[in-house]
């Protein structure tokens, strides 16, 4: 009997990567089980590895007495209870690095889409508005100030791209980095005051929950733009809608939301907002690389080799 793995869902995990796992392991597909609890009770004693897509709360982990590895698909692990895993010495892996370019590309796309009105411009042409009048002037990128909240791998990939547009880079992190010469702010609020574009590429979870609230958004200001490609939880969505409605925040480009796939309907009517359905990493090449990294971590675990990308 091959080693048995439990996989929780397959919303993003490429089927070719699942097929590869199934050549070496017996994969129990939880999402396909009619009675999920019955499947868990039946297989739990045999499960040392769970493959998941950013989800493993403490009560779920507790169902597997012999669990040793949670191999998660996605860079964000805010849905995996790390404290519970650490308490039982369960290793956790994620898929960092391979999605930086895709997420950074989308970030730039959102920034240009908002500042140049690309989505409304498209509608303007399609609706025949251009036949009546020229499109209004929008705003420039060169020489403007961007503040990156969370200058990790993805934040750095965003910064490199912003530099190519002649945008000045500032950042706020828990700690100042010694390997960049971008301007560091120890205070998010002070950075928000000084920048035109606030870009969120930080981790989700309790430590960043709703840290971008009305106070921060009012500091970005009526001509400023908020871009969020991290987690919806980082932004107070009620404050966001209110600040945009009141014109206290100039615009927003959003790939992530508090209760996905539900998005506040008030945003649908706003021309200064560009919305995306959480597609930061959603390129075929990236998703194959993410899936492969999950497979490689699982293989490394069973081969008793060091895990490729353990969460620190």
Q: Which of 99, 104, 159, 202 binds ligand 8YV (CB under 6 A)?
A: 99
Confirm whether 265 is a catalytic residue.
Answer: no
Which has the closest alpha carbon to 29: 1, 2, 8?
8
Q: Report 32-91 residues binding ligand 8YV (CB under 6 A).
A: 53-54, 73-76
Closest CA to 93 of 292, 232, 284: 292
E runs forming strands in the chain:
4-7, 26-29, 47-52, 69-72, 91-93, 145-149, 168-172, 183-185, 197-200, 225-228, 251-254, 273-275
By the rule CB under 6 A, 153 interacts with ligand 8YV: no
Residue 12 binding ligand 8YV, by CB under 6 A = yes
Please tell me whether residue 281 binds ligand 8YV under the rule CB under 6 A. yes
Report d(CA 240, CA 153) in Å as an integer.
Answer: 26
The residue among 224 and 291 lying less far from ligand 8YV, judged by its C-beta, is: 291
Is 228 an interacting residue with respect to ligand 8YV (CB under 6 A)? no
Q: 260 an active-site residue? A: yes
Does 278 participate in binding ligand 8YV (rule CB under 6 A)?
A: yes
Residue from 20, 231, 237, 287 carrying the catalytic annotation: 231
Among the listed ranges 42-50, 105-113, 122-130, 276-284, the one in contact with ligand 8YV (CB under 6 A) is 276-284
Which residues on neighbouring strands pair with residue 249, listed in sequence order?
Answer: none
Q: What is the C-alpha separation between 199 and 5, in angstroms, rounded?
A: 38
Give the pairing of strands 197-200 and 145-149.
parallel
278 included as an active-site residue: yes
β-pair partners for 232: none
Catalytic machinery residues: 231, 260, 278
Residues near ligand 8YV, by CB under 6 A? 12, 53-54, 73-76, 99, 278, 280-281
């Amino acid at each position: 009997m091959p080693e048995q793995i439990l996989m929780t869902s397959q919303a993003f995990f490429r089927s070719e990567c699942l097929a590869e796992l199934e050549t070496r392991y017996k994969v129990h597909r939880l999402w396909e089980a009619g009675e999920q609890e019955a499947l868990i009770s039946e297989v739990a004693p045999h499960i040392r590895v769970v493959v998941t897509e950013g989800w493993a709360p403490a009560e779920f982990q507790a169902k597997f007495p012999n669990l040793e590895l949670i191999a998660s698909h996605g860079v964000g692990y805010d849905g995996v209870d790390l404290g519970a895993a650490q308490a039982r010495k369960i290793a956790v892996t994620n898929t960092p690095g391979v999605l930086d370019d895709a997420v950074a590309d989308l970030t730039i796309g959102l920034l240009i889409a908002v500042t140049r009105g690309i989505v409304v411009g498209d509608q303007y042409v399609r609706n025949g508005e251009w036949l009546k009048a020229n499109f209004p002037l929008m705003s420039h990128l060169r020489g403007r100030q961007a503040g990156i909240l969370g200058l990790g791998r993805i934040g750095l990939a965003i910064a490199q791209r912003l530099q190519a547009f002649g945008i000045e880079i500032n950042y706020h992190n828990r700690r100042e980095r010694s390997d960049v010469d971008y301007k560091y702010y120890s205070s998010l609020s002070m950075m928000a005051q000084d920048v035109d574009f606030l870009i969120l590429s930080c981790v989700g979870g309790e430590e960043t929950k709703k840290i971008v609230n009305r106070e921060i958004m009012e500091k970005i200001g009526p001509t400023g733009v908020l871009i969020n490609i991290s987690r919806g939880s980082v932004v107070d969505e009620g404050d966001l809608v209110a600040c945009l409605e009141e014109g206290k925040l100039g615009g927003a480009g959003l790939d992530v939301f508090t209760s996905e796939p539900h998005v506040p309907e008030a945003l649908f009517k706003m021309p200064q907002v560009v919305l995306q359905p959480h597609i930061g990493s959603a390129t075929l090449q990236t998703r194959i690389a993410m899936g492969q990294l999950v497979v490689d971590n699982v293989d490394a675990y069973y081969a008793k080799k060091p895990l490729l990308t353990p969460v620190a």
